[in-house]
Structure 1
């Protein structure tokens, strides 16, 4: 397909160049025949015919009939201009049959010469015909007539001097080479993009166009960059889903194994063992349901485009999350407070941001010490971003693992996560939601112990009418 594209591009460029050459020939021919020389009131064509008649007169007067005849036969190609020399008896010097207009002009001049007139005005003279009276040294009278013959189209293509065709041939060859080079310049990067597309469609997720050496027009380079960006994004999504499926499959094994053990105990044990086994089955079922729900939420965040444009008041959203989290931590003496807060609006998905903050605060509540407080702060930084800091008073995280706690199912202490009821997906969901809003999330070990998670979100201006209503 692209080979035919190459030939179509080549033909288009070459035909365009040929049209330009023809148009140039058309314009030059038309200007030559019709444009008048400034100050002389004659066209360039008429000046050319006058020059030919002067040269013919000089050859006939000084060199005689034989030399004049030889000059007319061997003279340079006059293109569409023909020069006739007509004697008093009506014969033409080279034995040709003159056109009627030439014959009439020559007869008028010869008649005026025979009458002894000293000026001759041939009735047929005009833009396409020029005539001159000639008399040789031996006194013989002749009429020299130059005429532009043929139609405009025949003069444009057929009645051309030989150098014209030589130059035109060279121009056609050069233009064909130029068109071939230009077609290759355009088609080569498209071929490379097509090959990369086919490889990617065939399963090679690492296929990329890369840097183009040829055909580096802005549009083609932009197309290649867009393809590489798309391919990188698709590869990241596919890799993420593969990892998610692998991790979910791995994580499901433990609760499923415990469910089978509980089921066997329920079948073979006494009433007390049956009740304990049923409680275990219920607990593991709830855990499986929570894990699958969070896995689906993470997949949805990574695959669906950001379409929601809710006007979100971050202080109010955090207030709702903190109220619910504080209620859940009350049985163990764990509190969640909004220590510092500004009224900061943003635009995005309310549900996604709620889920992100809820997962971060729930994670802090799960690891903070009994009787301690999780503090949440909402402030605007110098760059105009909203910064949310969630600080717990738990054991913290090893420095080498701070960046990895936002990966799906990554655990620094599997036993503690199991005891806290976590699935290892909460912080991954928070990171995905925050990054989809153009923000960043990071964690560090706070001074004095505990973990501090910082969330940085861009602020967008809420319309004035809505703010006034608020």
Structure 2
């Protein structure tokens, strides 16, 4: 989500920066520099101001001239001085060398070019009096910060930095506003993928009324629908399994009565009994899966010696398959203790080992290894030497009722429940299960469980997971 957030920030930032840059270039290309504005103002106005000042001086005297020039400064911010041919102002006072020089240049050429110094533009214009005397009106006006920025070497960089900072300040909260619901939605999808169907998104978005809020509501409706369907499926599975137990029990009773009347012809009844046992085992698996899915089965919070469980299951399985030219052996062992239910953990280990025995080739042995993954976890790995599983279906073999295909019931307990129950059992104890094809052929199933160190300062930790999809 950080990538999306960063992209949104950069997109908005770059867009605003480009717009600001284009606007800046347009302003520079079309605007009139301050010198030109002062020049135009001087050429059109100073001549009129000067003639007016000379006329007032000749007609009304110096006090009236001073009043006129003061009014001009108040109304136009132009400070003007009327200079005589001798370089002094109309009242007889000396002037600064800069003003005197500008007046002298205007007396020779008729006007002086604009001179800018210290943020002040100065311009002089020659005025011919009625009596033939020449005057020079020297006017100055401040051009302020705009002119300083126009002339400063760092002006362009300063403008660019200002644009980028402004765009960043504006774009960051906007991008955050857009990206935050996406981050919330992503976290919710991860929760659903982990099995928590009770998660909802819309309450965390507050009072938003936009497309993202609509998406959050759609997600919540989808999650509610999935949760309802999964709950109904588990309830149906549990109810059907319970309902099948009663007719199956009556079938066993009827089978016993039939044996008493069948005499020596027991073969058909033996077949019926085997099928009934298979059906009974299937119902047991369904009930176990229903309990694990619903969270009704809690792992006992007691130490379990994993090494002992593995050793006992391996010995039993090896004894049973010797007549079928197969074997089961421990290639590596380590002492490790888990916290949970001994019966559930034994069933999970036994399920994986017996399925491996079923699919390993003749004259090969199923290999069982225990090793520490890190100080806090232990791995039980079971490898057979069969044909393996296609890579494309490996992620699905832990799903209920999933079959690999091609007439094989690889690691599915015949109906696709074996590894599902193993998966749920290991997760119930805070562990993980994974399957992979082994180099040289065969399948490896690894069960990783938290290892417990029995010390007074480390009390047993019990694990429980939420029901999974």
How high is the TM-score relative to the length of structure 2? 0.44
How high is the TM-score relative to the length of structure 1? 0.44
